[in-house]
Structures are given as C-alpha cells and as structure tokens.
A = this chain, B = another copy of it.
Amino acid sequence: MKKNAANFVALTPISFLHRSADIFPQREALIYEGMVVTWSELRDRCVSMASGLAEMGVESGDTVAVLAFNTPEMYESHFSIPMAGAILNTINTRLDASTVAYILDDGNAKVFIVDSELSGVAEDALKESKNQPQIVIINDPNVETKKSTKLEHVDYERVIADASTDFEWVRPEDEWSPLSLNYTSGTTGKPKGVVYHHRGSYLMSMGTVIGWQLPNHPTYLYTVPMFHCNGWGHAWTMAAVTGTVVCLRAFVPEKVFNIIEEYGVTHFGGAPIMLNMLSNAPDEIKKTFTRTVNVMTAGAPPPAKVLEKMMSMGFEIMHVYGLTETYGHILHAAPQSGWQTMTSDEQAQLRARQGVRFPITEDVSVIDQDTGELVPMDGETIGEIVIRGNTCMMGYLNNPTATEEAFSGGWFHSGDLAVVHGDGYIQIKDRLKDIIISGGENISSVEIENVLYKHPDVGEAAVVAMPDDLWGEVPCAFVELMPDSDTTEGQLIQFCKENMAKFKRPKRVVFGPLPKTATGKIQKHELRKMFS
C-alpha cells in the first residue's frame, strides 16, 4: 500500500483559505476601516498577488519580506507569499534600520513589501544592506499624512491589478518545508531567523481551535502584531474556522473598545500590557460587556490583578505561553471545573500560570539543567522548560550552531525557568538570565513583580538584579506609577516586605516609564544596562 495523489496530501494552512472561499464565499473575511473583503474576494486578491510576485521573479524557496502594520495587506501576505511558493518574512515594525538591514541580508529577501509610513526606516535599511530587493509599497488610504518615498517601487494594489488571475498556486511538495521566517527579538546579540514549516502551522491552527475552543465564524480583532510569530498563527487559524478578521493599524484602547462593540468581536489576543491599557483606561472610554469576549494573552505572565479586572469587565482571559521558536502558544492555563467555585482572586492566581500543553504539543517538561531529569511536581523545584512537538521550528536560518544548541538532548530548550505544580500546571519563575542570585539564594524577579502589581498605585513593574558588594546581587525594581499617585520608594519597599520573604524585597525602586519591545515585553536588558 503506497502513498498516492488521492490518499496523501502535504499539509499546508493555505488549504484553509481555499475551503473558506469555496464554502463560504460571501462571508466577511476582513474588515478594515469600514471596508469589507469576503472570503471569495480575499482568495482572488491573494492569487493575484501570488501571480504578481511570480511575475516579479519570485520562485519557490525565495523569501519575501514584509514591514507593515496589521492591515489587510499584511493578512493577505500570509497566504499570497506562500502561494507563490515563497517564504513569508514579517519584520518587527519597531526595529531600527540596521537591524532591518541585517534581516534583509540574512533572509535574502527577493521582494520587500513596506507600508508607506515605514518607508523611512526601509530606505535607511536598504542603504546598509547588501541585498537590494524589489520594493512593493502599501499605500493605506486611511493614513492621513502620506509619506512619499524615494525608493524605486511598485504599488501593492498595482501588482494585484496587473497580475494575471489564472495563476496556479504552488502547493508544497513536502509539508516539512519552509513557510515563514520570524526573527527573534534579539535581546542578546543578533536576531535569529526562526523557520516555520507548512506542517507546523497547519497543526498549530488545528490545536488552537481545540485549546481556545474556537467556534466556527468567530469575529477576531487582530491586536497582536502579525510580525510576531505570524500573529500567534491566528492569521491561518481564522481561515480554518472561516472567521471575520478585523484589522487594526495601531492599538488604541478607545478604538479597541469601540470596535469590540460595533463589530461584535468575540476573540482577540494581546500581551498583558494591552490588557493593562484596557483595564486602566479612563472610565469615559472604557466599556464593559454582558456577552463574553475571549482574550488570549501571552508574552509575559499577566499580573493577577489585571486578570481580575479584565474578568470583571466581561473578558474571558486564556493565558498562554510560547516562544517564537514554537510558533507561539504551546501551553495554556486550561480551566478546570473545580476553579468555578473559587474566588476571583484564587482563579486569577491559577490562570496566571503558564499551564498545560496544547493539543498539538506532544510534550512540555521542566527538567533539571544539570541532570536532565524531570523536576518533581512540587511547585518549588526550578528547572528549564523544554519542548517536543510538531510546532517546534525547523531551526535558525544560517545558524547551525545555535540550532544545535537549542535542540540539545532531543528537546527544544526554552531558556525559561519554571516549576511544576501538583496539578501538572507549569509556572514560570524566570528567564534563565532573569533569576537574581542573592547571597546564594535564588530570587524570582517575577515573584517580586507580582507583589508590586498588587499595590494600587503600581501601573507597571520590572525587577532586575543589581550588583551588591555584600550579597553579590540584590533586586532592583523599576516602577511606572498610576497617574497622579505619590507613593514613595520607601512605601513600596515596605509593602514588599509585608508581602514576601523579607530577603527577597527590592533594595531599590526607580520610578519612570519602562522600555518595551514591539509586543509589549518589558526590555529588562535595557534596565540592566543601568548597572553595567
């Protein structure tokens, strides 16, 4: 019995687009600033774009880079570029020109699709990069002050309009071949190019439907930047369930509240910072909902206080955990039936844990870093989170050494330190480099941050190690206070002393805005620079 054309088909998330377009052609696929694209129209546009890319010389295995916001063009790129047989390389919109240049060289993009608002950084990047891709410019008609660019380019809509429409899309022969290329944030050293394959993203979509209990036809607000793990893979997941995707150029709380109301948004995702912005929004723009709005949050452990606030506003929060290298979420704080009878504070504590594996994740364990043995499920013993499954990257592009290191011992190594609780739920205690070793004792910076978040005047907090002559390291807290509050350093240290083991309290508190990545992660390495 052999594989043949009828009984074996390479898995690819592009299949989902075709099914949605075939079966629900008139359903709304994209909504953006009042404009609607149906699933049938979306496929037509993607086929045309794929055709246009092919006419520009893009061939199977080539890279096409995209520097854009969460507009329809960005969503389309998740289908059109692979349909041309090429690899989608979305680039973080907040990067500096040098890093963009590095990515264009490392990824060797043949075509570079750029939102006109970002043409400045693109121009600067292209001055630095050896690689000189062809440029396609997205001219969003909703941007009031248009930027013109000196770059030789073709307009995105022109590529679509001029392309022949009878293009035959390229189905991958091997499902374990590259689909997309996502660069890590590169907090240390050069960013690394993480390569996803078709099989993984297909399975990621399937697993997300079960793990997040997605119904058919959700209305999904795209708040997570699609340049981050392909927007947690939801770009393809929404095609699997024929959802309606509401595009969003920038995260503005007032606008988000209005869109949720106007379009009946059922699902969205966002880093805890976004939830923070919503829950701390002024009352005049804040909205609460009687129906449930489902929110997936990831990128940092959400403070229990934020979870509680959001839940009281009608949001059902699913906390998930993952990395760029794992296509996004591979753990989730799956609710247990027993949780319903707990107080909202207790529930928030449980939901703030990273949790248990997604249906497509084969194994997530916490291992002792010296012995490689599983740590006991005692909620105390710290080890490294390691992962096995079909949503682990193929490897880092052009970097066999880093790839080998990441996969040592038959596991993907996350670099996150965690404990396993008695119920099997994993909870992160720190990044490997974020643990504070003070007088021989390990202090979890996350634990201190969680205490700080309980203080009513604390808006955001980050704790890092500060060198200390006596103890080696001691915790230093960086805090952004709520508007108009006047809490002092002494008061916050006292508050910590009362709420944790005394030796763990921060020895210093620095007030001010916190440096963040594009995805809302606080950049602790920037804070650490104060002490180096």
Contact = CB atoms under 8 A, between A and B. Distances in A.
Interface string A4-37: 1111110100011001001110010000000000
Contacts of A8: 176, 390
Nearest to A410: B5
Interface in A374-405: 386-390, 392-395, 403
A529 to B, nearest CB: 33
A142 interface: no
Contacts of A19: 357, 359
A530 interface: no
Contact of A209 (B3, B6, B27, B210): B210
A334 interface: yes
Interface string A402-413: 010001001110
Contact of A206 (B206, B334, B336, B424): B206
Contacts of A22: 356-357, 424
A362 interface: yes
23 contacts: A1-B395, A4-B407, A5-B388, A6-B387, A6-B389, A6-B392, A6-B407, A6-B410, A6-B411, A7-B393, A7-B395, A7-B412, A9-B388, A9-B389, A22-B424, A23-B357, A206-B207, A210-B216, A210-B240, A210-B241, A213-B215, A213-B216, A216-B334
**Copies of chain A in the complex:** 2
A195 interface: yes
A322 to B, nearest CB: 14
B215 A7 contact: no
Contacts of A334: 23, 216
Interface residues of A, number: 51
A22 B19 CA distance: 34
Interface centre among A6, A15, A403, A410 (most CB of B within 10 A): A6
B16 A359 contact: yes
Nearest to A27: B337
B9 A362 contact: yes
10 closest A-B pairs by beta carbon, nearest first, are A1-B395, A5-B410, A7-B392, A206-B206, A1-B394, A6-B412, A9-B362, A23-B356, A6-B407, A6-B388
Given A23-B424, A357-B19, A424-B23, A7 B394 contact: yes
A24 B240 contact: no
Interface in A186-210: 195, 203, 206-207, 209-210
Given A24-B336, A213-B216, A424-B23, A7 B362 contact: no
B3 A240 contact: no
